Structure 1
Amino acid sequence: MSSKRILLIIGGGIAAYKSLELIRELGRRGIASRVIVTKAGTEFVTPLSVAALSGDKVYTELFNLTDETEMGHIELSRSADLLVVCPATADLMAKAVHGHANDLASTTLLATDKPVLMVPAMNVRMWGHAATQRNVAQLRADGVTVMEPDEGPMACGEFGPGRLPEVSRIVAEIQAMLRPPADKKRLAGVHALVTAGPTREPLDPVRYLSNHSSGKQGYSIAIALAAEGARVTLVSGPVSLPAPEGVDLVKVETARDMLKACEDALPADVFVSVAAVADWRPVKTATQKLKLKGKGAAPAIELAENPDILRTLSNKKKKRPGLVIGFAAETEEVERHANEKLARKGCDWIVANDVSGDVMGGLENEIALITRDGAERWPRMPKEQVAARLAARIADQISGRDDPQKLAAE
């Protein structure tokens, strides 16, 4: 992705402020942004703030002699690998459908020969209006990718579909559209099973044992494998992340629930055990809320060991996945513990990471991929980038093109 560039058109709507976050998140993944801000868009974000984040000149006017001399609107419309309209207002989509060219944004959309992604954001009634729905249908018929908006509360006080999709969803869609078509099919016909998030082991009706896992790394891996063409089953503990598009999501609570869901999903070609499974559970779950006894006396809670999902699937005699990958979340001597876990669990690879900082719940990760051939140390990068690289590594392994020395040098 480091050589990719998008041309971002920022429309006029309250959601325009999220385009700044989008530019930043794409930049963290090596994707450059050149930006057009519409006249209405400048009411919500300033060209100065956009330029500061994108590191490039911001374009606003069609009839600007300097801009036309430096980067004519025809060249601008073809200067990127992908055009992204975010937020795509009802007005911008209507202009694109009818071929209007009365400002820089609409002219660029008409003159481009590159793929176009529109990310709608508008009032719920505007989104549901027959004219807007006709325009969306026509855009899709014309080959434009139009994302479905999110549903929820809006700045206008109403509730329903029309909210700008989460930035993580937009980034994933952009990455998928920028990826060469051949790469999308490297895992075609492969069934990948992924676990993500924490598990919860109930103590009583209101309390449970769990951990700080956010599920971000596991969800990112599921998305990356799907982008490589795999059929993905994602078994997830309780998290606040939206369901990934194109992935079969199975929601569970406890470790035993997760193990059953994984076994029900077999056979699988690849198993990636990312979930932070609780090691123990209460032997007995109280049927009523545990009460304070006073005088500093805490209730005695007897714990039992939970099933080891990674070891169970690694050592299956029937239906063992061809490639089993575990995660080792450690706080010290990370690689030593990971190598021990590789031998103890019977899996093929271990992704080792130090979680003593903000990794659980954070946006970045720094890992070492432990295999029978040794360790590959990857630099700190966004979790989505870790996921994409791991998915590519899996594709290399399955396709027989695995070259550890080449991969380690990338």
Structure 2
Amino acid sequence: MRIVLGVSGGIAAYKAALLLRLMTEEGHEVHVVPTNSALNFVGKATWEALSGRPVYNDTFEAVEEVNHVLQGRLADLVLLAPATANSLAKAAHGLADDLIGNILLTATVPVVMAPAMHTEMWENAATQANVATLRARGIHIIEPATGRLTGSDTGKGRFPEPEDIWSQTKDLLDRGAAKRHLEGKSVVVSAGGTREALDPVRYLGNRSSGKQGVALALAAARAGADVTLIAGAMDIAAPQDPNISVVAIESTRDLLDAVLHHAEGKDGLIMAAAVADFRPAAVTDEKMKKQDGNTAPTIVLEQTEDVLRTTVEQRAAGQQLPRVIVGFAAETGDADTTPLEYGRAKLQRKGCEILVVNEVGVGKVFGQDDNDATIIFADGSDDVPIQGSKDRVAVEIINQLADAFA
């Protein structure tokens, strides 16, 4: 495999040399592209000695080969490690003032970035927005580790160990990021949360960020599928991918209508949206205002439509809906029943082929970058537990969808 290893200017650049050694020892052809800042930490001689290849970092080197375009075209993988806050910002905004910036713009292969920076920089709103943008474009961001940073500081932002970065990268590729096992298939994915209006400015909603649904849409597109993303309220941008069309919805009723319309004639449906179970029974045309006396209105709720079960029922009634439907169950569990047990009961009630069960709660799943789920099957197949980044979970779900098609 031909790999472009981009190295940006952080103290963790010395660990990238160990990462380079891991890749070359497995027989991969690695082309190192450091930034000027990175060369302050590790010089060209080191990169050339370890890679066995000339090292370029300027757009105007090897001009006769059109190197700034050639590298991106020939690569099988682009790995930026470490990725500083500055390099993430430049990549998110499409800046190409050096060779690695040009390569990132020309690469049509999987791109993986391993951030490393101080905790304050990682948690800064600008960095988080840039990470969200890059993920929405299909770039895989490996979460930084927590531990000792430069000097005496400790926190999240530490460069993961090279063995862990390489293991995650290989796992990503092996699990299907570069496989086209959905070629020729059409898949509908729902994402985000639904909002149920109370008045013109207020609504009932939930904590869904849309991250898992977007990761699923991107994983399906990378696997070769033609994807329709039905997007509710999301904290992240919809993906910018030519193989993904986006349909915006707001309420549960909107979602049901969109699913029944856009899923007709499709091969697969993944219902990752967090659907509101209840909505206000009455919606006012004017904003509800506070009254004197500290009184508050009584809001009567009614159940919303059951999108998953209705879709399965419509399929049974003869509508040409996907033969493989994947549902999601966000469960909390209680003293008597585990989330997985609730999920099994839901799978029987809903009638879909596959159900992804998440244990949710404050700080769990909703809005997080990681997920911990169990995939269960109506045909009695063995459960598939999966945890890790939402990108990784998405690839596993897409793999199971492909297996169901087969």
Letter in 2 for 1:341: K
Q: Pick one of 348, 354, 365 that aligns with 1:349.
A: 354
1:396 and 2:394 correspond: no
**Distance 1:179-1:366 versus aligned 2 partners, 3 A rule:** closer
> What TM-score, normalized by structure 1, do the two folds share?
0.66
- Whether the 8 Å CA contact 1:280–1:304 is kept in 2: the answer is yes
**Distance 1:34-1:387 versus aligned 2 partners, 3 A rule:** farther
Deviation at 1:272, TM superposition (A): 1.0
Task: Provide the secondary structure at the position in 2 that maps to 1:378.
Answer: strand
Q: Pick one of 385, 388, 391 that aligns with 2:392.
A: 385
Deviations 1:27-59 (A, max 9, x none): xxxxx999653333457xxx4xxxxxxxxxxxx
1:339 and 2:344 correspond: yes
**Distance 1:255-1:94 versus aligned 2 partners, 3 A rule:** farther
- Whether the 8 Å CA contact 1:368–1:375 is kept in 2: the answer is no
What runs of 5+ residues in structure 2 fail to find an aligned partner?
20-25, 81-86, 112-129, 143-168
Deviation at 1:374, TM superposition (A): 5.0
> What TM-score, normalized by structure 2, do the two folds share?
0.66
Q: Pick one of 366, 372, 386 that aligns with 1:366.
A: 372
Q: Name 1:56's counterpart in structure 2.
A: none
**Distance 1:212-1:350 versus aligned 2 partners, 3 A rule:** same
Task: Provide the secondary structure at the position in 2 that maps to 1:92.
Answer: coil
Q: Name 2:220's counterpart in structure 1.
A: 225
Q: Name 2:261's counterpart in structure 1.
A: 264
Q: Name 2:5's counterpart in structure 1.
A: 8
Q: Name 1:312's counterpart in structure 2.
A: 310
Alignment of 1:23-102 (within 5 A): 37-41=34-38, 47=41, 60-64=42-46, 71-74=50-53, 92-95=58-61, 97-99=63-65
Q: Percent identity?
A: 31
Deviation at 1:395, TM superposition (A): 0.7
Q: Pick one of 165, 170, 181 that aligns with 1:186.
A: 181
Letter in 2 for 1:330: E
**Distance 1:5-1:306 versus aligned 2 partners, 3 A rule:** farther
Q: Name 1:330's counterpart in structure 2.
A: 331
**Distance 1:124-1:272 versus aligned 2 partners, 3 A rule:** closer
Deviation at 1:125, TM superposition (A): 12
Task: Provide the secondary structure at the position in 1 that maps to 2:224.
Answer: coil
Q: Name 2:194's counterpart in structure 1.
A: 199
Deviation at 1:179, TM superposition (A): 6.7
- Using the alignment, how far apart are the partners of 1:171 and 1:92 within structure 2? 23
Letter in 2 for 1:189: G
**Distance 1:258-1:331 versus aligned 2 partners, 3 A rule:** same
Letter in 2 for 1:298: A
Q: CA RMSD in A?
A: 4.5
Q: Name 1:50's counterpart in structure 2.
A: none
What runs of 5+ residues in structure 1 fail to find an aligned partner?
27-31, 48-59, 78-84, 86-90, 148-162, 400-410
Task: Provide the secondary structure at the position in 2 that maps to 1:224.
Answer: helix
Q: Pick one of 139, 143, 146 that aligns with 1:171.
A: 139
Letter in 2 for 1:38: T
Letter in 2 for 1:336: E
Task: Provide the secondary structure at the position in 2 that maps to 1:338.
Answer: helix
- Whether the 8 Å CA contact 2:230–2:247 is kept in 1: the answer is yes
- Whether the 8 Å CA contact 1:226–1:232 is kept in 2: the answer is yes
Deviations 1:66-117 (A, max 9, x none): x655x2542x87xxxxxxx9xxxxx83444654499xxxx9xx87x964475
1:248 and 2:245 correspond: yes
Task: Provide the secondary structure at the position in 2 that maps to 1:315.
Answer: helix
